[in-house]
Chains A and B, each alone.
Chain A
């Protein structure tokens, strides 16, 4: 099973199905730096968190079972001014229980921090971020995935500049003119076969 590709047996993924066809080297080369940059940012930020906890906050372990501290840490992080007052034990207990569901209790303040983060990522914010990210990623990918398609046809600039399309066979223009002539001559004995024959003659 695969969350990144359409769900189907592994062996079917090896076939040349359009949706599972191997991405081109050009596309790969454009996507890889994005994934690397994101990974590097996350990895660096994580390292900073670790450094902060180890070097600057050696005292946080003893307070791990103090539920008030758990909530207080969350409030300071979330920045809810309404929670300046000390939380009630019930709140603290609830918060601690939810935290226990997320993180190993033995990890102390790390549990509190991460529980706070988890609570802080509200559904609304998540939905909004997801929508924005999807749109941005989709646009970025579309722009990167098919650079060739974005290129104008060789003659398009000329056409846009009013110089006509040098690659469109002259025959087509002649056919258009012929059709107009035929419209004018309609009823003068020309039938469909005549028209087709004349067009064939023009097309060589």
Chain B
């Protein structure tokens, strides 16, 4: 958004700015989260991040002989447990090993991301 637009529509400019920063934060978090699982192949991409209070997302892109693929897995945290959905598939329960790895990843993500976010929120105060 240019300077003139932000003067004429300050509220809209603020909202758009907020959306941009939010997107940028998510992108950064996803990048940090993607490093938890070790190296990604050269042409691949991996992001793992917390979307909101109840949702974790893992996005993976990879290249093989069949071409380029991508898969987004959504983990929904519910009071009674965690379920995942991939693509158009219905929700399915996590396996025991998957659940263990998931919670380990969440813990690592939290250890890396939360302190940095808290520090960022202190800037300018």
Residues of A within 8 A of B (CB): 1-6, 13, 19-25, 27-29, 31-32, 34-36, 38-43, 45-46, 48-54, 56-58, 61, 76-77, 102-104, 106-107, 110-111, 113-114, 117-118, 120-121, 126, 129-130, 132-134, 136-138, 141, 145
Contact = CB atoms under 8 A, between A and B. Distances in A.
Main secondary structure of the interface of B (DSSP, over half): helix
A187 B31 CA distance: 78
A130 B108 contact: yes
Nearest to A26: B81
Interface string B82-94: 1000000000011
Interface residues on B, range: 35 or more
B12 interface: no
Residue of B46, B71, B75, B114 ringed by the most chain A CB atoms within 10 A: B114
Interface of B: 14, 17-18, 20-22, 24-25, 27-29, 31-32, 36-37, 46, 48, 50, 52-56, 58, 60, 62, 71, 73, 75, 77-82, 93-114, 116-121, 123-125
A120 B115 CA distance: 11
30 contacts: A1-B60, A3-B101, A5-B97, A5-B98, A13-B95, A21-B95, A21-B96, A22-B95, A23-B95, A23-B98, A28-B82, A32-B80, A34-B103, A35-B106, A36-B77, A41-B114, A42-B113, A46-B22, A49-B21, A50-B18, A52-B125, A53-B17, A61-B17, A102-B28, A107-B24, A129-B108, A130-B108, A133-B107, A133-B108, A141-B103
A39 B103 CA distance: 11
Nearest to A19: B97
A107 B1 CA distance: 11
A117 B24 contact: no
A113 B123 contact: yes
B100 A141 contact: yes
Contacts of B80: 25, 28-29, 32
Contacts of B103: 31, 34-35, 137, 141
Main secondary structure of the interface of A (DSSP, over half): helix
Given A3-B60, A120-B116, A133-B107, A32 B82 contact: yes
Contacts of B32: 118, 121
Contacts of A34: 103, 106-107
A52 B96 contact: no
A110 B60 contact: no
Nearest to B1: A61
B81 A25 contact: yes
A40 to B, nearest CB: 5
A20 B93 CA distance: 10
Contact of A45 (B24, B52, B98, B118): B118
Nearest to B84: A4
Given A19-B95, A114-B24, A136 B107 contact: yes
A28 B124 contact: no
